[in-house]
Each structure stands twice: as C-alpha cells, then as structure tokens.
Amino acid sequence: MLKNLKTTLEMIKFEHTLFALPFALLGAVLAARGLPGLKQVVWIVMAMVGARSAAMAFNRLVDRDFDAANPRTRMRAIPAGLLSTRYVVIFTLGASGIFFVAAAMLNPLALKLSPLALGSVLFYSYTKRFTALSHVALGWALAIAPTGAWIAVRGAIDAPTPLLLSLAVLLWTAGFDIIYACQDEGFDRQAGLHSIPSRIGVARALQIARLFHLVMFVVLLWIAWLTGLHWVGMVGLAATAGLLIHQHRLVRPDDLSKLDMAFFTTNAYVSVILFVTIAADVLLFS
C-alpha cells in the first residue's frame, strides 16, 4: 500500500502543488488583511491538496491510452503497469472526499461551491479532446484557488481583488501550459488532440504565451494599485517580471531543450515569490 501511494504521489507530481498553493494562501492573506486563522489555513491547504490530487489522478486515468501511445509519457505509472486503474480510481475518490470535508469545515458558501470547483478541475482532463483552449481551461482550474481561499476567510466575494488574482493565475497558467505543450506538438496533431502549438505551430504558440504573461503582469499591477502595495510587494512584482522574461528566453521554437527548466523551476519561483513578498507587504504595512 505504501509503495502504491508513493508511486501515485510521483505520478501526480505531488510536489507541484507548490504552483497553486501559494496563490491560495495569498488570497487568504489578502482577504484577512493579515494572518488568517490557523484553522482556516489548515483547511485551505487540505482543500488544495485534495482538489489537486484528485484532478491529477483523474487526468492520468482518462489520458492513460494517450500516455501509452506518447513516447514521452508511456512510462507513467498506469501505462507502465505500476498502478492499476482501480487503485487510481480509489485514490481519486479519496482525494475528492478530503476536498469536500475541507470545504465543509470552512464555511457554508465554500461547501456550496465545492462541487463546481471540483467539477472544473476534473473536466479539464477532457478539454484537449475538443478545443485548443484547453490551456485556458487548466488556467481556470488553478485560478479557483485564490478566490476559493478568499471565500474561505470571508464567506463571500465582496471585493474585486480575489477575482483579479484569479485572472492573473489563469493567464499565468495558460501561458506556461502553452510552453509545456510545445514538446507534444507533433504527437497531439497525430493523435487528434487539440492544443495551441498543434493548431498554429510552436513559434506562434510561444508568442501567444508571451502575450498571456504580459497581460498577467498588467493584472498584477492592477492588484498592486487596488491593494495599495508598498515597496516590498513591488519588489516581488519586479522579480516576477524578471522570471517570466527569463522563462521565455529559455525556450525558442528551434530549441526546446531547456523547457523543463522553464516550466518547473521558473514557475515554482513565481508563485512563491509573489506570495512571500505580497504577504510580507500586507503584514508589514496593514
């Protein structure tokens, strides 16, 4: 059982929860205008872990035939025979249960909206079958986090800040997912899957990703203005701009060799830096 659990956590890239979790915590800090309660933080984290784990496991389930056919992914746990589909189904249901329990422990609105949130993150797995905007669907799935955390703290959406933060997350995620999808351009086209790189080519797809990240940064500046960020938060925004520029310099249409560095390392830094600096700004100057 422990071996299967370890394999499952590796399969769903559990450590990449780091991508979205800082934005959820940032939404909570902005909602509280300081430190939210410990109980709220614990259940927000549990909700994030449950929802993301369920979504990733479900994605591996529904994509198992495509993964088996793709040379890049054929050694993933299910097509490689390391995990049974039955086990992954049980894991997905268990993670979903954790999410619903966490939502119930937060407040009535969080519980009421929890089926919509979980449905959104699960539905993403099907979008590559019918639309090149699957990257935006993934962005929506991650964008739920900051607004969800705001609701967890306040019990309502009573300001534009969480919605703008969610928009920034959507644009950021869609942009880096377009970059990541460039490595599967040929396979997606052959398999009949939809993505922006397979639709318009790698070069133009990278231009779209740059545009998404540019608009994301404009939205972050809007949030900074609305919340009255001081120099600490602005340092974080400047560092984020530098990381995004660096990410796009690492990947070129004729050279995707540094794509993993651009995708995994750079984006983990973006979410952590924004959380640390903006949260510190709120705590220091509120």
Instruction: State pLDDT tens for residues 166-177.
Output: 999 999 999 999
Structure tokens at 162: 């969480």
pTM over 0.85: yes
Percentage of the chain surpassing pLDDT 70? 98
% of the chain surpassing 90 pLDDT: 82
* pLDDT-derived band at 261, boundaries 50, 70, 90: confident
**Once rounded to an integer, what is the mean pLDDT over residues 155-173?**
96
pLDDT averaged over the chain? 93
The yes-or-no verdict on residue 268 having pLDDT over 70 is yes
pLDDT of the residue at 9 = 78
Token representation of residue 7: 């394999």
Q: What pLDDT does 158 receive? A: 94
Where does the pLDDT of residue 15 fall: very low under 50, low under 70, confident under 90, or very high at 90 and above? low
CATH class for the domain made up of 2-285: mainly alpha
Domain spans of the chain? 2-285
| Pair 9, 95: CB distance under 8 Å | no
- CA 160 to CA 153: how far, in whole Å? 15
